[in-house]
Amino acid sequence: MDHLKQWFDEYTASFLTGVEDNDRNIRLKQEHTHRVCQESLFLADALNLDAKQRDLSEIAALLHDIGRFEQYRRFQTFADDRSVDHARLGHATLKKKGCLDRIAPADKDLIERVVLYHNRAFLPEEESEECLFHTRLLRDADKLDIWYVVTSYYAEMATKRNPTIELGLPDTPGISDKIHASLMNRTVVLKEHMQNLNDFKLLQIGWVFDLNFVPALRRLETRGYLDMIKKALPMDPRIDEIYENIADYMHERMR
Ligand SMILES: [Fe+2]
């Protein structure tokens, strides 16, 4: 673990250029990674994983966004649809750099596949239970931290804007009908339906329907991220309706 953490720190530091507009986005992903490791360990413990599975969940978290660094260097964006699939790029990076060569081949293979699948809309059904389990755990840990990142950003957005976080979407009024419909149907919002920043905020609250584990739902509720996103949205009865639906959904699942 120490060796891998050191490799991560050195590899990602090589993307710092001394230009603040670049470096703040590199630091954003470095810090995100460290917090996702903590979220993964929280879930691993809440789910009573043994020591080996706990280690695997931490390694997957440490390496899950390794493709983000090369993605940003090449394209200056984190929008996969306008650049490259960062999970594929991360998978290729792990293979090329050989940073997992010190661990057992079966575990190396598992981590590489978890990294490859972590951002997929649909997980491959033919995969092993172990691989799907670790992918689901990582996805929950990842979402918990992305909620932290976006809510921290909304809190300071009035003074510090970062178009990279906003995916370059316009800050226009209103919400999309398709997004309202998918949230009322308790389904995850499709990226292609986003038209403005409000839609992006609604997409973020819709991740609740993609959470796999009850401890992640409890942590989401305790941290109050959904309420913080609501404060960053306009007053709108359709948004209230979505929030009531989500509150019901969370209580049903936690019960
Ligand atoms: Fe990612």
Query: Are 57 and 134 within 8 A, CB to CB?
Result: yes
89 and 16 fall within a common domain: yes
State in Å: Cα 62 to ligand 1 middle. 11
State in Å: Cα 119 to ligand 1 middle. 6
In a domain, 156, yes or no: no
Q: In the predicted model, is pLDDT for residue 55 greater than 80?
A: yes
- pLDDT number for residue 122: 86
Nearest to 139 by CA among 188, 194, 184, 191: 188
State in Å: Cα 143 to ligand 1 middle. 10
In a domain, 48, yes or no: yes
Classify burial at 188, counting beta carbons within 10 Å of its beta carbon; exposed 0-12, middle 13-18, buried 19 or more.
Answer: middle
CB count within 10 Å of CB 108 equals 18
CATH of the domain at 67: 1.10.3210.10
Q: In the predicted model, is pLDDT for residue 39 greater than 90?
A: yes
Question: Using alpha carbons only, how large is the chain's radius of gyration in Å?
Answer: 18
Q: Of 143, 161, 189, which one is at a domain's C-terminal end?
A: 143
State in Å: Cα 80 to ligand 1 middle. 10
State in Å: Cα 43 to ligand 1 middle. 18
State in Å: Cα 9 to ligand 1 middle. 17
Query: Are 163 and 171 within 8 A, CB to CB?
Result: no
In a domain, 78, yes or no: yes
In a domain, 162, yes or no: no
134 and 204 fall within a common domain: no
112 and 209 fall within a common domain: no
State in Å: Cα 164 to ligand 1 middle. 15
Alpha helices in 157-236 (DSSP H): 177-184, 197-206, 214-223, 225-231
Q: How confident is the model at residue 210 (pLDDT cuts 50, 70, 90)?
A: very high
32 and 73 fall within a common domain: yes
Q: Structurally, how many domains does the chain consist of?
A: 2
Nearest to 70 by CA among 96, 47, 49, 52: 96
Q: CA–CA separation, 67 vs 89, rounded Å?
A: 5
State in Å: Cα 117 to ligand 1 middle. 9
Domain that holds residue 182: 169-254
In a domain, 148, yes or no: no
State in Å: Cα 60 to ligand 1 middle. 11
State in Å: Cα 238 to ligand 1 middle. 30
| Spacing of C-alpha 83 from chain mean position | 17
pLDDT in tens, 140-199: 999 999 999 999 999 888 778 877 778 888 889 999 999 999 999 999 898 889 999 999
State in Å: Cα 112 to ligand 1 middle. 13
176 and 137 fall within a common domain: no
Average pLDDT over residues 241-250: 96
State in Å: Cα 90 to ligand 1 middle. 9
- pLDDT number for residue 161: 80
State in Å: Cα 231 to ligand 1 middle. 26
Looking at every residue in the chain, the average pLDDT score rounds to 94
- pLDDT number for residue 90: 97
136 and 234 fall within a common domain: no
In a domain, 183, yes or no: yes
State in Å: Cα 78 to ligand 1 middle. 9
State in Å: Cα 34 to ligand 1 middle. 13
7 and 119 fall within a common domain: yes
111 and 174 fall within a common domain: no
109 and 224 fall within a common domain: no
22 and 94 fall within a common domain: yes
Q: In the predicted model, is pLDDT for residue 51 greater than 90?
A: yes
State in Å: Cα 110 to ligand 1 middle. 17
* Amino acid type, 45: D
Average pLDDT over residues 7-23: 95
22 and 111 fall within a common domain: yes
The percent of residues above 70 in pLDDT, for the chain, comes to: 100
Q: How confident is the model at residue 81 (pLDDT cuts 50, 70, 90)?
A: confident
In a domain, 152, yes or no: no
Cβ neighbors of 62 (< 8 A, separation 6 or more) are 4, 5, 8, 33, 37
In a domain, 191, yes or no: yes
23 and 131 fall within a common domain: yes
For the chain, helix, strand, coil in percent to 5 are 70, 0, 30
Cβ neighbors of 7 (< 8 A, separation 6 or more) are 97, 99
